[in-house]
Copies of this chain bind each other. A is one copy, B any other.
């Protein structure tokens, strides 16, 4: 496959009239004279388009896309107790299937090619994701009240460890829902199978305060005392952190999945990204579930992250577009060990964005990153994962059926 005459970003600058050759699941060449050597004869006209490497959604619960708009503007506990948990108690694999596919549609349309998820029915999530053609790091959620889920963590890894698109991981829910035994078991499992650990960490003030009161340590200190924290960990939220917590996170190489919109919408607070960044922590971006966002769109997440951090610190010069762009791309590639980027040898996970839209004007060689972070908001034309074209010219095969089935499935779920 050859993407012809497309623009790319190189060191933050716009570079026009480049060819990108794809052979199988990988990029075989990027440059002005590059030719297709795959022999498949497929040509995508890239003129007027910008190719970007795949964005990585570092924390979500994709099946919850089925709950979009079901409950908003509520206090956290009634929201969970009256709305979300009762629905979750009724979930079937069929709900998960259509919720995941619905979420995949939005990700394909906004340039997300890989997502990191922790939820229920993860085999179904993996199957639905593979049918959609996306890449995913998946872990079944683990907590003490569901020993069956804990029992299945290792078989789940074995079932998916050699898949081309699914990367299994271990997902202990949080320190307040998992005992020391569960956490240690998750850690041991992750180390033995060399997979990631995905956990919610210090999301709300009350959660952190009550944990400290009971345990005498912060959640971060506690996890560190168990030897849990390393660069194998992707920790979602990290809103309420002490200076000591921040040092530990940075020293251990923990990857932070910052969820700006969810933290704002649920009024959890504003994460101390500046101190995390200065300490050297690796920061990625996540949408969280659609029930607390309500989008699955990293363009929104990049803009909200940048402007919220500027405002929180009264410093408009902090968190520039280039730094935030890295959070959605390179930082996440490093966190999840993804061989991505627009270069020969990397996995062919990329999108083409139509530059002939008003929000990309005026366009100069210097302002392309600013436009991507502050103006673009998605508008993806073509998305390719592992060399497979998932959307071209805004068309995703099967989209209409997924919309209708997700609609019907949500009705069934609520009425069940």
Contact = CB atoms under 8 A, between A and B. Distances in A.
A367 interface: yes
A311 B406 CA distance: 31
A403 interface: yes
A75 interface: yes
B293 A374 contact: yes
Contact of A106 (B106, B290, B314, B359): B359
Nearest to A109: B358
A295 interface: yes
6 contacts: A68-B359, A69-B367, A72-B320, A102-B361, A267-B310, A295-B375
A41 to B, nearest CB: 31
A406 B362 contact: yes
| Among A74, A362, A367, A403: residue with most chain B CB under 10 A | A362
A296 to B, nearest CB: 8
Interface stretch (A191-199, A257-265, A381-389): A257-265
Contact of A69 (B76, B304, B375): B375
Interface of A: 66, 68-70, 72-76, 79, 102-103, 105-106, 109, 261, 263-270, 290, 293-295, 297, 300, 303-304, 306-308, 310-311, 313-321, 356, 358-359, 361-364, 367, 370-371, 374-375, 377-378, 399-400, 403, 406-407, 410-411
Nearest to A362: B410
6 cross-chain pairs, A with B, having the tightest CB-CB distances, nearest first: A69-B367, A73-B320, A362-B410, A264-B307, A105-B358, A294-B374
B267 A316 contact: yes
Contacts of A74: 316-317
A313 B268 CA distance: 10
A66 to B, nearest CB: 7
Given A295-B374, A317-B73, A362 B68 contact: yes
A222 to B, nearest CB: 25
A70 B367 contact: yes
Contact of A361 (B76, B79, B407): B407
A290 to B, nearest CB: 8
Contacts of A361: 68, 102, 403, 406-407, 410
B265 A359 contact: no
Given A361-B406, A362-B69, A315 B378 contact: no
A70 B102 CA distance: 37
Contact of A375 (B294, B371, B400): B294
A294 B377 CA distance: 11
Contacts of A294: 359, 370-371, 374-375
A310 B306 CA distance: 18
A263 B308 CA distance: 10
A29 to B, nearest CB: 30
A272 to B, nearest CB: 14
Nearest to A320: B73
Contacts of A363: 69, 407
B375 A377 contact: no
B321 A377 contact: no
Given A105-B358, A268-B311, A304-B307, 14 more contacts: A69-B364, A69-B371, A69-B374, A69-B375, A72-B370, A102-B358, A106-B359, A266-B310, A267-B316, A269-B314, A294-B374, A295-B377, A358-B399, A361-B406
Contacts of A307: 261, 264-265, 304
B316 A266 contact: yes
| Among A308, A310, A318, A359: residue with most chain B CB under 10 A | A359
Given A317-B75, A358-B105, A264 B308 contact: yes
Contacts of A375: 68-69, 290, 294-295
A374 B370 CA distance: 23
